[in-house]
Amino acid sequence: MGSYSFYLSTLLVYFGIDLLCAWSLNLQYGYAGVINFAFIVFQAAGAYAASVVVLGSDTGLGAYQTYIFGMQVPFPLPLVAAALAGAFLSGLIGLFALRRIRRDYQAAVMLIVSLILFQVVSADIHLFNGSNGLTGIPHPFQASLGVTLSTYQWIYAGWVLAICVVVYFLVQALCKSSWGRALKAIRDQEDAAASLGLNGTLLRMHVFIIGGAIAGLSGGLLVEFIGAWSPGSWGYAETFVIFTALLVGGVGNNRAMVIGTLIVPIIVLEIPTFLPAFGYPGLVDAIQWMVIGLLWMLFLLVRPRGLFPERRYIAKRPGSPPLRGGLRGLATRVLTLGRPEHSAADSFARPAHSTALDQEPSLGEREIEVPVAGLVVVTGSAAGTSTHELVGTKALNLDIPAREPVMVAKELVVRYGGVAAVQGVSLEVFPGEIVGLIGPNGAGKSSVLAALAGQMRARGGVIRLGGQDVTRSSPYARARLGLARTFQTTSEFPAMTVFENLLVSSRGATGASLWHVASRWRTNRAEDQAAEARAWEVLDRFEMTDTANAYGAELSGGQRRLVEIMRCLMRDPALLLLDEPMVGVAPHLVKKISSDLRSVADDGIGMVLVEHALEVVRTLCDRVVVMALGRVIAEGSYDEVVADKGVRDAYLG
């Protein structure tokens, strides 16, 4: 009986520790898309850290084990040290591994990193006693509790599970917040996410560090339980156990991690314990790893998102009657353009929305924090817009005189390798103006948009947004200054619902900064509700309410375009770049979107429209710029450029 109690309590401790690992990995892979093949290294970092701060100083050369630090700090500081070590190592590795690189490359780099660290720790005897590892790490409180080892094991299991509960609520809160939504956006479509003001590298860094801290904590808990730690405990293959648990349970679903952890590390790896011994020593281990590999491959083939994948976010409309959104609702905006005192670095830390609120504290905060009984109280003509309207109009009046252009580009040059796709194009857009950019295929229109929005670096020329030089700014910094764009190939977030697609674009609840979400956890809900109200209104406007809970990947091509446009309008941009927005959109909606765009522009948004449908250009654009072979060949009203001989030659060859 005693041995079973011992076995079960041990198993329970391992279960809790593996569960922590699974949550950490789910945060990194399930939410942020980081394939962390180095995972086990962060657990090891925690384990070593906890060991060396509790072991006391080594007795110098000739001692049976040597290691760095060597302190005797009391419980629970070793666990704190473990979490910090995991976080610190994550930050260090994240510096070079989390740049914008292809995710399969990233995975390979992680694998390499884990093998390097393994070699270093195994080879260096002074760091953590080399490949022999550390032993004699005491169980916390075992002596003072005065209980049998068996009882102690159960107490320790309870302690681990208590930590699991705390970590679960923490992780779950993060995942459900607007920050978690932002993570999914960068996971799904990094370019598009950047065009909504999200800094992918920074978001990944944060999630990587949080995951690293949890991994480190799990290592600390593990080493205080087993009392020893050596490179043998953290071979790279251990990472795959956790990955397999994640894939079996369900990617992006924290609750499913419980199931995954039960199935893979507990059941699959414990089965051999109950089998009669066979073969030579090591055969059972080898077969175990083969099974893990097969299980992993099987799930990637049959259910790549796991048994219980991420649950669909179902948006429920507040009980109010449908809102007559109205053009004014759409067109209101917070303008941060033309405010030199707000550098990109300023808006970097805080979403533009709150920057504006800070300026008008009495107005802003009163208006935002009015949810009553869980519903947004809608005042004025449109949902959740009264704040935007007041602040926005004011900003508009104060900061951007109508005659100042929102965007000026001078002598732009864009090159792909040796080919100059854009050679000295200049373009100005004034508030309220729709500029059509047309030209034959390969004229460089999309390259101009990419240079303006920052996806391509301009090799020459200057770009100013509202007076600020943004030629070298990143796409997300430009987005935060009020630039929004759609892409030629649609870039909705496929694994997020239409409603989430819109929410992630809201300036108030963008989730761009972990600090913002964490420090204002009281007001997050209010911000979310304001964003939700606005999302419903935009959906109504584009007759897309029925698709609110559809995944991006489930939409038709035309609907995806609409999602992109809606996403831009959620942001109240000052400058909107549209790359062939009407491709695949139903004819009756083309008219409707045209009139919407017109009315949006009338409220002061500048627009650049790349479009092949000349009818749309004719009806919509105030001014048309014609490009061919990377240069501007004509500019003027639609009728003027159509009459131009050079333009006819360019089109008809």
Residues binding other proteins (CB under 8 A): 33, 35, 37, 95-97, 99-105, 107-109, 111-113, 115-116, 119-120, 123-124, 190-191, 237, 240, 243, 280-283, 285-287, 289-290, 292-294, 296-297, 300-301, 304, 455-456, 489
What is the C-alpha separation between 163 and 156, in angstroms, rounded?
11
- When the beta carbons of 115 and 327 are compared against other proteins, the nearer one is 115
CA distance 373 to 482: 33
Shortest Cβ distance from residue 353 to other proteins (Å)? 29
Which of 314, 311, 261, 351 minimizes the C-alpha distance to 15? 261
Strand partners, 626: 438, 634
Q: Please, are residues 443 and 628 in contact by the beta-carbon 8 Å criterion?
A: yes
Q: CB of 101: closest distance to other proteins in angstroms? A: 4
Query: Toward other proteins, which CB reaches closer, 235 or 646?
Result: 235
Cis peptide before 76 (omega within 30 of 0): yes
Is residue 467 a contact partner of residue 339, using CB atoms and an 8 Å limit?
no
For the bound state, the minimum distance from the C-beta of residue 23 to other proteins, rounded and expressed in Å, comes to 19
Closer residue to other proteins (CB): 252 or 508: 252
Evaluate whether 43 touches 212 at the Cβ level (below 8 Å).
Answer: no
Min separation Cβ 288 and other proteins, Å: 8
Please give the full DSSP string across 342-358, using - where no structure is assigned.
Answer: S-HHHHHHS-HHHHHHH
Nearer to other proteins, 244 or 506 (CB): 244
**Residue 367 Cβ vs other proteins, minimum distance, rounded to whole Å:** 40
Which has the closest alpha carbon to 200: 216, 211, 189, 209?
189
Return all residues near 92 (Cβ < 8 A) that are at least 6 apart.
none
374-389: buried (b, 16+ CB within 10 Å) or exposed (e) per residue?
eebebebbbbbbbbbb
Pairing of strands 483-485, 468-469: unpaired
Separation between Cα atoms, residue 597 and residue 565, nearest integer Å: 10
Angle between helices 524-541 and 178-188 (to 10 degrees): 50
C-alpha count within 13 angstroms, C-beta hemisphere, residue 155: 12
> CB within 8 A of 151, min separation 6: which ones?
none
Q: Shortest distance, CB of residue 48 to other proteins, whole angstroms?
A: 17
| Residue 273: CB minimum distance to other proteins, A | 19
Evaluate whether 206 touches 180 at the Cβ level (below 8 Å).
no
Q: How far apart are CA 383 and CA 361, in angstroms?
A: 20
**How far apart are CB 191 and other proteins at their closest, in Å?**
8
Least distance to other proteins from the beta carbon of 257, Å? 17
Q: Which CB sits closer to other proteins, 455 or 501?
A: 455
